[in-house]
C-alpha cells in the first residue's frame, strides 16, 4: 500500500523521487491530501515555482475527479453522513438526529452553559453501536475530566476502561500548539489507521483570545483562526468526521435591545461553522440549546438537563 501511494505521487508532473520523499515526510502521503493542499505549501515544501505547484495540484484533483458533479451524485454521497445522538430527544430532533458528520458544529455560550458537558457526552456516544468510532479531544482550557467520562459510560452500562481508551486526548497550551495538534489528526487517520469519527475542540478561541489582545492584533488573530478552521473543515470533508467546537462569548455593550451575547471569532468562525448552536442556562439547572444557523435545518430551540449519567430530557 505504501509503495502504491508513492507511485501515485511519482506519477504527478514535476515530481521526482526527492520531491516525493519531501511530500511524504511532511504528511502528504495520499493524492487527496495533495489535491486539497494550498499552492503556497507545495511551493515551499518542494521548492517549486507557482506554475509547477498548480500543475501538481490540478493533476491530483483530476485523478480524483474533484471537478463539478451532478447534484444527484452529491445527494448519493450524503448517504454516508451520520449523526451522533446527544441523548436528549428534543435536542436530537432539533439537530435531525444529532451532531452531523462532514461538517463543523459550533456551540457557544457563557460559562456554565453546558458546552463541555455536551463534548464529554459526544465522546462517549460516538463509541456506541452502530458508529463504534474513536473521538479526538483537543482541550485548550484544561476542562476535560476522565471521571466524567466514567460516570457517563457507567450510566449506559459500558466498559469504562474501553471508553476511556477510545478517546485520544491532547492538551493545547497555546494557539500554535493547538493548530499543530489539529494538523496531526490527519496523520492519525492516514498513517495510524485510527477510526476517528469525532473531533472535539474545547474551546476553539480561548488560546487565541488570550494571546492576541487589542484591536491592533485582531487581523492577525482572525487570519490564524481562519487557517485553523480550514484544517478542521478539511478533516470533516475528506474523512466524513463530525467536528464539534465550543466557543466563548463576549457582551456587546452597544446593543440596547435583545441578547447582547456574541460569539468570539466574528464572521470568520460564523462562516466556517456549518451549524451554530447558542447555549444558555435555563430554569432549575437546565440548559437551553438554540439552533441559530444551519444550511438545512430551521431555527429552533430545545431544553435539556445534565444529570450524573449525562445529558437527558
Beta 275-281 vs 103-108: how paired, if at all? parallel
Q: Do 32 and 150 belong to one domain?
A: no
- Residue 165 placed within a domain: yes
Distance CA 244, CA 203 (A): 10
Is the residue at 225 inside a domain? yes
CA distances from 216 to 141, 220, 225 (A): 25, 8, 16
Domain membership of residue 133 (yes or no) is yes
45 and 102 belong to one structural domain: no
Q: How far is CA 86 from CA 17, 32, 137, in A?
A: 48, 32, 16
Kindly state the cell numbers that stand for 14. 514535476
Q: Does residue 117 sit in the same domain as residue 26?
A: no
- Tell whether 281 and 253 lie within a shared domain: yes
**Angle in degrees, CA 217, 219, 221, rounded to 5:** 70
Task: Quote the DSSP letter at residue 190.
Answer: H
Distances (CA, A) of 87 to 126, 142, 279, 289, 304: 11, 24, 16, 13, 9
pLDDT, one tens digit for every residue, the chain (313 residues): 666 666 788 888 888 888 888 888 887 888 888 998 889 989 998 888 999 999 999 999 988 888 888 999 888 888 999 999 999 999 999 999 999 999 999 999 999 999 999 999 999 999 999 999 999 999 999 999 999 999 999 999 999 999 999 999 999 999 999 999 999 999 999 889 999 999 999 999 999 998 998 888 888 999 999 999 999 999 999 999 999 999 999 987 777 677 788 999 989 999 999 999 999 999 988 999 999 999 999 999 999 999 999 999 9
Q: Please state the length of the chain.
A: 313
My answer on whether 103 and 56 are in the same domain is no
CA distances from 205 to 149, 212, 247, 284, 296 (A): 24, 10, 6, 29, 26
Q: What is the CATH number of the domain that holds 15?
A: 1.10.150.20
Q: Which three cell numbers stand for residue 51?
A: 506554475
User: Three-class SS of residue 180?
Assistant: helix
Is there a single domain that holds both residue 176 and residue 266? Answer: yes
Longest dimension (CA), the chain: 65
Question: What is the model's pLDDT at position 9?
Answer: 86
- In this structure, the answer to whether residues 52 and 146 fall within a common structural domain is no
Cell of 259: 441578547
Same-domain check for residues 54 and 86: no
Query: What pLDDT does residue 7 have?
Result: 75
d(CA 262, CA 309): 31
In this structure, are residues 291 and 99 in contact, taking their beta carbons and an 8 Å threshold? no
State the Cα–Cα distance between residues 206 and 215, nearest whole angstrom: 17
User: Rounded CA gap, 208 and 128, in Å?
Assistant: 34
Q: Does residue 298 form part of some domain? A: yes
Is residue 151, in this structure, part of any structural domain at all? Answer: yes
Q: What SS3 state is found at 157? A: coil
Q: Do 191 and 265 lie in a common domain?
A: yes
492576541: which residue's cell?
212
Indicate whether 71 belongs to any domain: no
Tally of structural domains, the chain:
2
CATH code for position 164: 3.40.50.300
Considering the domain architecture, whether residues 24 and 86 belong to the same structural domain is answered as no
Same-domain status, 244 and 269: yes
Residue-by-residue DSSP string for 61-73: HHHTT-S---HHH
Query: Is the CA virtual torsion 58, 59, 60, 64 positive or negative?
Result: positive
Residue 72 belongs to a domain: no
Chain-centroid distance, C-alpha 259: 27
In a domain, 150, yes or no: yes
Residue 122 belongs to what H/E stretch? Answer: helix 115-125
Same domain, 283 and 140: yes
Residue-range definition of the domain harbouring residue 56: 2-63
Amino acid at each position: 500500500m505504501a509503495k502504491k501511494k508513492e507511485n501515485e505521487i511519482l506519477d504527478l508532473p514535476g515530481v521526482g523521487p526527492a520531491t516525493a520523499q519531501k511530500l511524504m515526510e511532511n504528511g502528504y502521503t495520499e493524492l487527496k491530501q495533495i489535491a486539497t493542499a494550498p499552492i503556497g505549501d507545495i511551493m515551499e515544501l518542494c521548492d517549486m515555482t507557482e506554475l509547477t505547484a498548480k500543475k501538481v495540484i490540478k493533476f491530483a484533483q483530476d485523478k480524483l475527479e474533484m471537478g463539478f458533479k451532478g447534484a444527484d451524485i452529491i445527494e448519493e454521497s450524503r448517504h454516508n453522513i451520520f449523526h451522533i445522538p446527544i441523548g436528549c430527544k428534543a435536542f436530537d430532533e432539533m439537530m435531525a438526529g444529532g451532531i452531523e458528520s462532514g461538517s463543523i458544529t459550533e456551540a457557544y455560550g457563557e460559562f456554565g452553559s453546558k458546552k463541555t458537558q455536551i463534548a464529554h457526552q459526544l465522546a462517549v456516544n460516538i463509541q456506541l453501536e452502530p458508529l463504534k468510532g474513536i473521538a479526538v479531544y483537543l482541550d485548550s482550557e484544561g476542562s476535560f475530566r476522565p471521571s466524567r467520562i466514567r460516570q457517563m459510560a457507567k450510566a449506559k452500562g459500558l466498559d469504562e476502561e474501553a471508553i476511556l481508551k477510545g478517546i485520544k486526548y491532547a492538551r493545547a497550551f497555546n494557539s500554535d500548539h493547538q493548530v499543530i495538534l489539529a494538523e496531526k489528526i490527519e496523520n492519525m487517520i492516514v498513517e495510524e489507521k485510527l477510526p476517528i469519527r469525532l473531533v472535539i475542540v474545547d474551546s476553539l478561541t480561548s488560546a487565541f483570545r488570550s494571546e492576541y489582545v487589542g484591536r491592533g492584533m485582531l487581523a492577525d488573530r482572525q487570519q490564524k483562526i481562519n487557517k485553523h478552521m480550514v484544517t478542521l473543515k478539511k478533516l470533516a470533508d475528506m474523512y466524513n468526521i463530525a467536528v464539534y467546537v465550543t466557543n466563548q462569548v463576549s457582551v456587546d455593550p452597544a446593543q440596547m435591545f435583545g441578547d447582547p451575547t456574541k460569539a468570539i471569532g466574528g464572521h470568520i468562525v460564523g462562516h466556517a461553522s456549518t451549524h451554530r448552536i447558542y447555549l444558555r442556562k435555563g430554569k432549575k439547572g437546565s440548559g437551553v440549546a438554540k439552533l441559530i444557523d444551519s444550511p438545512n435545518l430551521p431555527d429552533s430551540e430545545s431544553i435539556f438537563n445534565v444529570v450524573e449519567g449525562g445529558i437527558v430530557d
